[in-house]
Every structure is written in C-alpha cells, then in structure tokens.
A and B are shown apart, each in its own frame.
Chain A
Amino acid sequence: MERFLPTAQFQRLINLLRRDGYDCVGPRVRDGAIVYGPLERVEELPVGWHDEQRPGHYRLARGSGRRFFDWANGPEALKPLTFASREVLWTVVRDGQGSLRFCEEVPEVRPTAVIGVRACDIAAMHLQDQHFGYREYQDPYYNRRRRALFLVAVDCARPASTCFCHSTGDGPAAHAGFDIALTELDDGFIARARSERGRDLLAELPTTEVTPDHHAAAGAQHDAAVAAQTRRLAGRNLKASLFAHLDHPEWDAVAGRCLSCGNCTAVCPTCFCHSVGDTTELDGRRSTHHRQWDSCFSAGHSYMHSFVVRDQTVLRYRQWLTHKLGTWHDQYGRSGCVGCGRCLTWCPVGIDMVETANRICGGDGDAQP
C-alpha cells in the first residue's frame, strides 16, 4: 500500500499514533547532534538541519530547506531503545536464615513509535533480533522493548560522506522491517505500509494518490543518494580475506592510532557485548544483578582468571574487525556491518574502518555487488 502524505498533514501521523497509545520518539537536535527524544509536534524534528560527517568529525548546520529528514544519521541507532545501555536483570534478597530469593526485574515498557528510522538501523535491529530475540535463549529484556516498537522509517536522501549502506545492501531506502516507510519529497511523503497496523494507520491518514511525478522525484533522489556514497567495503563477505591476512602490517598501523576507547562499539548499531555485575546494598541483604554495554576494546573484556587474552590494542582491533566483518557471517548469516558509518564519524582519532578493512583485504575481497 502506497499513498502520498502532504507535509501539511504530517502532524496527523503523530496524532494518530498518540491516540493509539504510542509514545512517539523522533530525531531531535540536542547538544549539537541529532539524537532520539520524545516527539509531540513535527516542528520538533530537525527541520532544515544538515549533518556534515567524515572520520572523526560531526557537525550540524542549519540550511534554508524545509525538509525534516535532510541529514544522514546521529550517534544513536535504534540500539539504545531495545538494548538498554544499563539495566537490572534481577535482584536477590538474603533473609535472616540465609535463604536467597531471586526476583526477575523485567522492564515495564510503553508502546513506542519511532519516527525517522534509517534503513541501516533497521538492518542492524534485525541482527540484534537474531542475537537476543529468538534463538535458544530468548532475552526477555530486549524482547519486551523490541515488541513495543512501531517503526516509521524514512529513506535516506542525503547520505554523509561516511555512509556506505549501499555497498552493504542495507540502504539508503528501507525495504523491510518497518510498519510504515516514508520517502520525503519537497511537498510531502510517499508513504508505504508494510505491516497490518501500518496499513490501518495509513488508511486513516488524509493522503492522496502517488503521482508519476512523485515517483520520478523519489527515483531521482534515491539514485542521487546511491551515487553520493563513494565509500565501499571491498566485498560483502570479507571473512576469508581477513583471516588470510591476520599478520598484515595494517593491523599494527591502525593500532598505533587506536585509543581503544570503545566509541566505535558504543555507536555501532549491531555491537551487543555487555558485561554483567552485581551491586550489594550496604545492609548486605539485597543485591542487584545488572548488565551494561561493554566493548571488546576494554581490557576486562577478555579477562580470564589469570591473564587477559587481548592485552594489546592491535589484538582488540583485530578481534573487532574479524568478528564484525568476518565470523558474523557464520553466526548470523551476514556481515555485522550495515554501512551506517558511525564508527568512522565517532572515532576520536578518525580511523576509517572501511579503508582499514580494504587495505587489509587488498584486492581479495569477494566482490559481489
């Protein structure tokens, strides 16, 4: 189902979602970046804003345009909405007799509609769904948040210089995994519904037919967004190539610059590593068992009772990249990279992961389109 939603009616989408009980969340400008926040009025979206991104660089600038989504992406993907950066898993109370009573702390969540989701972030969420969602051990914390989401995707019309989702096959247009997807044009949106509830919602909106002009404009915009992406990984599956080059000098070169700070893994929409810890109250009776995002760039990540498996930055960087672009294929049937470019932008020393991977793989990347 495909309809045209004029800009003047865009607010109605939020109104209907709120009427149906959803909290609306959308991209907003805060502290010089576009991040998710509560959304009631479309004017709160980053109207007219553009982002300029390159390795180690992110700046917002306001143009004269009236578009809502004329920027690429901010530091947050959907990840913080489904996989909380820190949360309590369970609590335990020890009574006077020494008995332990364990109590699960599954989060209370409200139905949440996210407006303005990028295709790369939906692809990343699918990977996290596989990881947490429905394999032999299901994660009730992730799943509860995930199931509460209603997703309104927006096709990317203005990729950043760091973007390479076309080469990973994940963008710039959204193709699956959303309830409604929007293609923003100058006077409104082409809206396509994917789910039943998306169709129901779209049917209630004051939309018009999509005209051939709309299609032509959308097509040209999509082609331009693809053409704007000059960065690309050497292939979709670099596993064999990366593991054939574990001694490549580029590993040391990149490790010489890498601060092992973990920014890349924090902004990566697919990174799932987390550490688990316990905090006991001062009375010694009640203790909470919690988890928080961890990074394979931290020393503790590979700690074993008597040693650290990856005690050098070069080993951590190699671990991260060979997993993300290599052995993810074995575990999840595809690469762990969706081409969002965040690990380039938010690296404080501007390491270009794509360039690094391509250097290491040389010409041997599997060059599937």
Chain B
Amino acid sequence: MRSHSLAQTQPNAYLPHEAEVVKFVQESKTIYTLYLRFTDPLVHANYMYDPGQFNMLYLHGVGEVPISIVSDPEHEDLLIHTINRVGRVTRGLAAVSEGQRLGVRGPYGRGWPLREAEGQDVVIVSGGLGCAPVVSVINYMIRRRERFGRFTIVQKVKHVDEFIWPERYERWQQVPDTTVLVAATQGAENWRWQVSPRIKVMEEVKVHTERTIAMICGPEGFMASAAEHLIGQGVPAASIYMSTERNMQCAVGHCGHCQFGPTFICKEGPVYAYPRIKPLLNIRGF
C-alpha cells in the first residue's frame, strides 16, 4: 500500500505543498471536516498514505497543526481531515472557505496495523473525538469486509454532543457480523444509544478468540482502562494498538515536543502497540 510520496523524498521535509480546500463540512458545533486537493496535480497523484497517519496543515499567517488523515487512500481522491476546534490554528481553520489555499506536508507517523488485522476479529474502541482517527479504519475495513473476522465497534462519549456521525454508526450496525456499541455518560432526550459510566460499555464486548486485534483511540486513561479490560477478556496485549497525542511542531522527529519515553510520537507513533507505551501511559508528566 505504501510508497514514497513526493513530499517525503523532497530534500526539505519542512516545506509544505499548496493545497486547496475543495469542501468544508461542519460536523457538530466544534467539529468540522476539510476536503483538500494539492494544487500541483503531480503532488496530488503521488501522495500516498496509510489510515492513521497524519499531515501538518498550515494556515497562512497562523501556523501549522498536526491532523490525522481520515480518508481512505484507495477509495477517496481528496485528502480528508476531521478537526476539532480547540486551539489557535484549528480555530483559524474552522473559518476557511471553499477555494482557500492551505499548506500541507506529510504524511507522517505510523498508522493502524491493517495488514496484521487481516484474518482476525477486530475490536475498535474510541472515546470522544478519538472516533475521528478510527472512523477511517472502520470505513477501510467495512469496504474490505471479507478480509476480517467479527467486528466490534465501541464509541464512548461523555456528552451526547460529542457524538458525531450517528448515521454511520447506524449503517455499520447493518454490516454482517458487526456489533456497534455507543454509550454516553450523560444521556439526553432522543438519545437512542446507551447511557453508562466510564468504560462500563466495554463489558459488553465479547472476545471469541485470541486472534483478536484491538485499536483504541481516546484520552490516555480511557485507552489504558479499555486495554486492560480487553486483556482480561483474552486479547493479547501485543495485539492492542492505540493512538497517542502530544504537542507536535515539526512532525519529523527533530523539535522534541512529542518525545514520549523512548520514542518520538511523530515518527514511531501516533499508533503504538500497547506494550511499547504501557510503562509510561498514564504516568503524570510523560
């Protein structure tokens, strides 16, 4: 799947390429999606990535921000980024209009273990906006349903507002051999999914075989609890993957901000096998 992109073989890894905002979709109050195309057709045609990798998006005069790629590299022509409006750059990006130009460089990091997952049962767990990076994985797998065993998709949010794309979860419920578990800590009127505290919803995840792989994305405490729960259910620790997040400024392992124990998240992560990061996960200050 992976080949070199022009962005990676060009001598200066810091230099973005110009890209155009083709479409802007507001997903919720704070969450939006950008559909991008490199303005240089050659760059666009040669841009290869894996689900779970990320790009650095540059907004003119404001700065760069790392954002995971949610499009399917084999099924979508445009580069898709779903973004939560939380910081200086993401607030600026929330105000872009279609046709506006951005800078994009990437892809960076290691994505989800999709090859390893083939032939195995798959459990996908996300918490809050953790769903954005894993939605690309879910889409990827659903499109190639026959390559994988049983699917379990868990999405946990605190407030019902954080739950986006309900229609996707409803659609996934219809996919054969697929269990969809959505829960909020606090319910609301018209909330048709579960209401349950913390990771209680994980108790409903049925693990049938040791050949089960799990992919988790969300706050660190949530990911660690979910991982431990799955290990208790018989999932091998080495088959549990999670996506981490830290301050990132260069994305090429130079600036030091995303250093996490023995690794730089921008290069070895953001997706890690659980045993690799378990020693420092949830320890304050790392």
Mark A residues whose CB is within 8 Å of B.
89-90, 92, 94, 98-102, 104, 106, 131-132, 135-140, 243, 246, 272-278, 280, 284, 287, 289, 291, 294, 296, 301-306, 309-310, 312, 314-316, 318-319, 323, 327, 330-331
Contacts and interface: CB of A to CB of B under 8 A. Distances in A.
B284 interface: yes
Contacts of B58: 92, 289
A249 to B, nearest CB: 16
B285 A276 contact: no
B252 interface: yes
A131 B262 CA distance: 14
Nearest to A251: B285
B247 A303 contact: yes
A53 B2 CA distance: 54
A135 B253 contact: yes
Interface in B111-151: none
A-B CB proximity, top 4 nearest: A315-B285, A330-B262, A273-B256, A137-B252
Given A302-B246, A302-B247, A304-B247, 16 more contacts: A99-B101, A100-B60, A102-B18, A137-B252, A272-B254, A273-B255, A274-B250, A276-B250, A278-B64, A291-B249, A294-B256, A294-B257, A304-B245, A309-B246, A314-B285, A330-B263
B99 interface: yes
Interface string B95-112: 000011111000000000
Contacts, number: 128
A302 B103 CA distance: 24
A310 B285 contact: yes
Given A302-B247, A315-B285, A318-B285, A102 B17 contact: yes
B61 interface: yes
B254 A315 contact: no
Q: Which of B15, B263, B264, B279 has the most CB of A within 10 A?
A: B15
Interface in B246-275: 246-247, 249-250, 252-257, 259, 261-264, 267
A294 B279 contact: no
B285 A319 contact: yes
A138 B254 CA distance: 9
A349 to B, nearest CB: 21
Contacts of A90: 12, 14-15
A282 B102 CA distance: 19
Contacts of B250: 274, 276, 291
B62 interface: yes
B256 A100 contact: no
Contacts of B100: 98
Given A100-B101, A275-B249, A92 B60 contact: yes
Q: Main SS of chain B's interface residues?
A: loop
B232 interface: no
A319 B286 contact: yes
B255 A291 contact: yes
Interface in B11-25: 11-18
A330 B249 CA distance: 22
B11 A273 contact: no
11 contacts: A89-B14, A89-B15, A94-B60, A99-B101, A136-B252, A138-B13, A272-B256, A289-B14, A304-B245, A318-B285, A319-B286
B63 interface: yes
A323 B99 contact: no
B261 A102 contact: no
A272 B16 CA distance: 22
A132 B60 CA distance: 26
